[in-house]
Structure 1
Amino acid sequence: MAALAATTGGALSPPAAAEGEAPPGQVEFPTRCAAPQEAGLPPADGPTTARIAVDDPAPKVGDTVTVTYRVARTPAVNPIAAELPADVLTPTGRILLGGAQSGEVTVVGAKRNDPVQAGAGLPAVTMTGTFTVTAAGGITLAPGGYTLHTSHLLDLDTACAVTGAPVSERLTASPPPATAGGTPTRANLRSVALGSAYGKPGAKVKVTGAGFAPDAAVTVAGRAGAAGTADRVVVTADARGAVVAELPVTDRATTAVVAYEGTAWSAQQGSGPAAYTVVASAPATPGTQKVTAVVEPGALTMTQAGESITLGAVPYGERGAATGRIGTVTVKDVRGGPAGWSLIGKVTEFTGPRGVRIPGASLSWTPTCTAAPGSPSRCVAGSAGVVGPQGAVLASAPDGALVGGTFTIDAAVTLTMPPYTPPGAYRAVLTLTLS
Structure 2
Amino acid sequence: MAVLAAAAGGALSAPAAADGETPPGQVRGQVPGQVDFPTHCLPPQEAGLPPADGPTTARITVDNPAPQVGDTVTVTYQVLATPAAAGAELPAGALTVTGRILLAGAQSGEVTVVGDRRDDPVPAGAALPAVTMTGTFTVTAPGETTLAPGGYTLHTSHPMDLDTVCTAAAAPVSGRLTATPLPLANLRSVFLAAASGGPGAKVKVTAAGFPPGAAVTVAGRAGAAETADRVAATADEHGVALAELPVTDKATTAVVAYEGTAWSASQGSGPAAYTVIDATPPPPGTQKITATVEPGALGMTQAGEAVTLGAVPYGDGGAAPGRIGTVTVKDARGGPAGWSLIGKVTDFTGPGGLRIPGGSLSWTPTCAAAAGSPSPCTAGSAGSVGPDGAVLASTPDGPLVGGTFTVDAAVTLRVPPYTPPGAYTAVLTLTLS
The TM-score range, normalised by the shorter chain, is 0.3 to 0.5
How high is the TM-score relative to the length of structure 1? 0.42
Higher RCO structure, 1 or 2 (CA under 8 Å, sep 6+):
1
